[in-house]
Amino acid sequence: MMQSNQKLKREMITRKESAKKIILKLAWPVIAEQSLATITQIVDMMMVGRLGPAAITAIGLSIQPLLLAQALGASLSVGTTALVARFIGAGEEGEAGRVLQQSLLASFIVSGFILAIYYIFAENIITLIGAETEVIPLGTSYLRLLIPGLFFMFMGFMISAALRGAGDTRTPMKVNILVNVLNVIGNYILIFGHFGAPRLGLDGAAVATTLARTIGGFILFVYVFRESAIITIVRKNFFKPDLPLIKRVLKIGLPATMEQLVMRAAQILYVRVVAGLGTVAYAAHQIAINAESISYMPGFGIAVAATTLVGQNLGAEQPERAEESAYESWKIGALIMGFMALIFLLIPEFLIRLYSDDPQIIRLGARNLRIVAFAQIQMGTQFIFAGALRGAGDTRSVFYSTAVSSWIGRLGMAYLFIHILNWGLVGAWLAMVVDWTMRGSYVYLRFRQGYWKQIKV
């Protein structure tokens, strides 16, 4: 079984198969996984939406610090994916397993620190973001109940990153599908009190999410201890730090972490600016954000394929094939994201009605989606070329582009459009278009320069 797995690992590089076919083979499980996750988010928001605008706003504001924590976990996993892909491409499977081991050890430390801070200061965080008085207790309780599941979510990030770097996108898909299904079932039971369970309202949504994430992280952890896995964790000296190897992971991951910190900080301030428009306006904003997330799934899936293929091909010393993979990924992504733009232009009201029947929220949310339709191709460009650069280990350039665009393009323009030009919620969404356009343009130009081919990880 181990020999067949090693053959599969090398096959990703050596077989004479079109780049397009390999990209789709890697991307479709991620797209399927993201699709179900998005459907789950839609169903979750539909359920919570029945609890009223205050509940929607509480989730929207609580999500911001959670997104920051998730971003830290995901960014640390960037180094894991890049190094695993390089080692797999070079045929060094044992070293790939050591990368996973050390990445998990680092994630345990980081997640424990974040969880403690969030739990202690939950109310202060929700207040700082700009919650109104009626929203603060709802958001505080929701945030605290989600915190235990973040430990297992971090674990899942690292393991999924390693599996994807090795070319296995199906296992994370299967586990995350299970997590999302459990989350929806748990929401139905605990939010509304079905099947004899207590009616917990918004707290029920948090408890369901925590339970689902815990189960998913545990399953992935057990899976990578099996010899039949495409990448097997090194068990010897599991809790002993390997500082040189951790340093290599962090060399790639730290710029990605800084990228996420800077971006999320800008987004939290951006949310504060938008929240100042009132509860109804922010509810329409949050629902439109949730509906827009259906466009992330194809872009993210293809970006994962680009990351894996660029990393593996560089490990196999085939930079030309790495470049071909990235450009083919972008072509596929541009077509799909263009199609998503048409959906947002033509039927935005239908999407918003899935969440709310409030006429004002429907009108404002639909207008938001029509605006962001003009950013879809730029968004796909950013996802895919940023993914390609990360696969090569060039996370610094992605950090620079995100820092400038999120603070100037999104936050700066939002302040200008909302408070100086008085464009209201329209200004907030126009700022998003500016942000994605800046980011997509930079990473595309950076990739074309080709410096990423000489990076040593």
Q: How many CB atoms lie within 10 A of CB 386?
A: 29
Question: What per-residue confidence (pLDDT) applies to 377?
Answer: 94
More confident residue, 130 or 448: 448
Instruction: For residue 310, tell me if it sits in a domain.
Output: yes
Instruction: For residue 456, tell me if it sits in a domain.
Output: no
Question: What per-residue confidence (pLDDT) applies to 278?
Answer: 85
The H-or-E segment that residue 193 falls in is: none
Instruction: For residue 65, tell me if it sits in a domain.
Output: yes
Residue-averaged pLDDT of the chain: 85
Instruction: For residue 214, tell me if it sits in a domain.
Output: yes
Question: What per-residue confidence (pLDDT) applies to 365?
Answer: 92
pLDDT tens for 167-224 read: 888 899 899 889 988 988 998 999 888 888 888 888 888 899 899 999 999 999 999 9
- State the sign of the Cα–Cα–Cα–Cα dihedral 12, 18, 24, 25: negative
| Mean pLDDT for the stretch of residues 65-70 | 75
The H-or-E segment that residue 199 falls in is: none
- What is the token pair recorded at 209? 């999410």
Instruction: For residue 437, tell me if it sits in a domain.
Output: yes
Question: What per-residue confidence (pLDDT) applies to 30?
Answer: 79
Q: Could you give the number of structural domains in the chain?
A: 1
Yes or no: say if 176 and 36 are a contact pair by the CB < 8 Å rule: yes
- What is the token pair recorded at 129? 């973001």
Residues 6+ apart with CB under 8 A from 327: none
| DSSP secondary structure string for all residues of 231-255 | S----TTTTS--HHHHHHHHHHHHH
pLDDT tens for 394-452 read: 989 999 999 999 999 999 999 999 989 999 999 999 999 999 999 999 999 999 999 89
**The one-letter amino acid at 254:** L
pTM beyond 0.85, yes or no:
no
C-alpha closest to that of 428 among 292, 273, 280, 284: 273
Residues 6+ apart with CB under 8 A from 303: 329, 333, 383, 384, 386, 387, 388
Instruction: For residue 53, tell me if it sits in a domain.
Output: yes
- What distance, in Å, lies between the first and last C-alpha atoms of the chain? 30
Residues 249, 252, 258, CA angle at the centre, nearest 5°?
115
According to the 3-state scheme, what is the secondary structure of 58-101? HHHHHHHHHHHHHHHHHHHHHHHHHHHHHHHHCCCHHHHHHHHH
| Mean pLDDT for the stretch of residues 105-124 | 87
Yes or no: say if 418 and 384 are a contact pair by the CB < 8 Å rule: no
Instruction: For residue 454, tell me if it sits in a domain.
Output: no
Question: What per-residue confidence (pLDDT) applies to 41?
Answer: 61
The rounded distance, in Å, linking the Cα atoms of 405 and 113 is 29
Q: How many CB atoms lie within 10 A of CB 118?
A: 19
Instruction: For residue 57, tell me if it sits in a domain.
Output: yes
pLDDT tens for 201-215 read: 888 888 998 999 999
- Taking only Cα atoms into account, the Rg of the chain, rounded to an integer number of angstroms, comes to 21
Range of the domain at 81: 2-9+18-449
